[in-house]
Amino acid sequence: MKRICLFPGTFDPLTLGHTDIIERALPLFDKLVIGIGRNSNKKPMFSEKQRLKWIKEIYKGNPKVDAIAYDGLTVDCCRQVGARFILRGIRYVNDFEYEKAIADMNRSIEAEIETIFLTCLPQYTSVASTLVRDVLRNGGDVSQFLPEVVKRSIKTRK
């Protein structure tokens, strides 16, 4: 049985923190599906199409990586893509408490799906999409937090 994992998030924008987690998770799974969750409570800065494009461009040479957008429950998306694992990145202890509550809920809904937590490397601990968006909105330079593909498209957007 293939080890398929879903890495859900908004990826608005995709940061080096995200790519760090993705790169370190790849050896653990046969396939990694990056799932852009549609959240009606959030108004993204970057379009879904743009976020999917970044992911597909960064991982175009890697057949183990796919990217999709989904509505609804993450466990339902797991069922759709055949994933038995959910990947989550952890930066701080409070991330773990929040993510564990979600993992427990997911396990209650679907006992066959396991959540895997990876801690980010120390240099990415402060890299959060929310903070990156705040700096961007205020005209600051976020290039040190972004993959080259994302950096280029944000520069051409200005």
The residues that are catalytic are 18, 42, 91, 129
Is residue 67 within 8 A of residue 38, CB to CB? The reply is no
Alpha carbon distances (Å) from 2 to 85, 87, 103, 137: 11, 16, 21, 42
The end-to-end CA distance of the chain, in Å, is 46
Helix (H, G, I), strand (E, B) or coil at 127: coil
